[in-house]
Amino acid sequence: MNHVTVCTCTAFLGHRRVAHGPYAEVDTALRALDLSAGGLLVFDDTSGALVDHPWPPGHAPAQPAESPTDSPPEAAAPGVGRPRLGVVAREVTLLPRHWEWLAQQRGGASAALRRLVDEARRSQGDQDAQRLAKERVYRFMSAIGGGLPGFEEASRALFAQDGAAFAHRTAHWPADVKDHLAWLARDAFPTTPIVASSAA
């Protein structure tokens, strides 16, 4: 079964959200607006990073992104990896003592590395999600809210994982900015610090 992930973005004019959705839909919406006054900011929803509009030629998120296993398999040298199982061969650089330890593990180095990665994903999944969410929130708020009151305090609260302080410092920010922050921060704290009035 094919799994297609549609990359989305959100556009603001000043502090007002004017479009949200797949890149193609946001592009259509923005072309219908009068943008001559400036102040347009478009953010990738996955990373929180600013993106240029109009999209640069060949900008990947403008099209649905397929997962690696959905792509047609490329020809591989005989006996290298297991492409039918989705195994991808890439270079890994380790010190000699690491290679020695891996060579002694059940199934060899590749199997041991896969087990280590899977274990780390299980044990650190929540921490990774929180870290990525905090980075996403900070990129957005730095670009759009750097001049808003309480920005520095809100930033410190974000990285201290103090959801209550973060909510307090952003409580009087413009509604669309605050709602989008709540949506981006959904994984940044043990509980979401802000209740968004609408899903972004």
pLDDT at 99: 80
> Does the predicted model carry a pTM greater than 0.85?
no
36 within a domain of the structure (yes/no)? yes
Is 22 within the bounds of a domain? yes
On whether residue 76 sits in a domain, the answer given is: no
Question: H/E element holding 50?
Answer: strand 50-51
Q: What is the pLDDT of residues 27-78, one digit of tens each?
A: 999 999 999 888 999 999 999 999 999 887 766 554 444 444 444 444 444 4
Residue 167 is part of which domain span? 126-194
SS3 9: strand
Structure tokens at 30: 């923005």
Reply yes or no on whether the pLDDT at 83 is more than 80.
Answer: no
Count of the separate structural domains present in the chain: 2
Predicted local distance difference test score (pLDDT) of residue 69: 44
pLDDT of residue 121: 60
51's enclosing H/E stretch is strand 50-51
- Give whole-number Cα distances, 144 to 2, 41, 61, 164, 173, in Å: 36, 8, 21, 21, 11
What does DSSP assign to residue 68? G
Does a structural domain hold residue 80?
no
Q: What is the pLDDT of residue 112?
A: 75
Q: Is residue 102 part of a domain?
A: no
